[in-house]
Amino acid sequence: MYLLQSIFFLKTLLNGIIDEIDLCLNKEDFHLVHQSAEDYTSCRTSSHKMSFLLPTLSTKKEVDDVIKKTEDIVLVLRFGRSTDSSCLQLDDILAKAATDLANMAAIYLVDIDQVPVYTQYFDISLIPSTIFFFNAQHMKVDWGSPDHTKFVGSFKQKQHLIDVVEVIYRGAMKGKVMVTSPLDPCDIPKYQLIYKDI
């Protein structure tokens, strides 16, 4: 019985992924707009499928290998959970930006529950958290907040992510390890630096 349920689940999952790929290929301008809570709820299923379009790292070794082997482009690591609504919203933006950033960045998802070593190392207490690397160097960004090591929360739109990656890329090519955020302060989520159990 359990085997049949597992097979049915996998079949449903694969059909969803195939439908999503067909949708992306058949539409020139594929956009999911989250203008209200109602819109977001109706798009949540599609947004969840979008996370399957991005590679996921599920072990410390995989994260280590990607950090070491990604050269001359920005490495974007989204730490979070595929079941969290904020992470799904960010995954949607990351998936949309992946094509535009193909020559400048590699984007991966990291599940915090599967890689607790890095969750602790990067002091990730709020999700989603996005961390940037360039040639194995942890890139820091002055967001106008006390924490320059990561972006906490979701980018409001695809262009914001693209702008940040471009600034990091240009700065890294000049040998910088810290750059200033190109985003308007009102577009950066505000949070307090206190411990919160994720």
**The domain that contains 78 carries what CATH number?**
3.40.30.10
Domain-embedded: residue 17: no
The values of phi and psi at residue 83, to 5°, are -100, -5
Give the residue numbers spanning the domain of 154. 54-187
Domain-embedded: residue 171: yes
**Which residue stretches of the chain are H helix?**
2-26, 37-50, 60-69, 85-100, 116-121, 158-173
Number of domains the chain is built from: 1
Give me the numbers of helices (H) and strands (E) for the chain, helices first please: 6, 7
Q: What is the pLDDT of residue 15?
A: 52
The per-residue pLDDT string of the chain (198 residues; one tens digit each, 9 = 90 and over) reads 544 444 544 455 455 555 554 444 444 333 333 333 333 333 333 444 444 589 999 999 999 999 999 999 999 999 999 899 999 999 999 999 999 999 999 999 999 999 999 999 999 989 999 999 999 999 999 998 888 999 999 999 999 999 999 999 999 999 999 999 999 888 887 765 554 454
Of the candidates 37, 86, 198, 65, which has an alpha carbon nearest to the alpha carbon of residue 133? 65
Domain-embedded: residue 45: no
Q: Which residue has tokens 């109706």?
A: 42
Domain-embedded: residue 21: no
Considering the entire predicted model, what is its pTM? 0.71
Domain-embedded: residue 121: yes
Domain-embedded: residue 22: no
Domain-embedded: residue 122: yes
Domain-embedded: residue 8: no
Q: What is the pLDDT of residue 192?
A: 56
Burial of 190 (0-12, 13-18, 19+ CB in 10 A): exposed
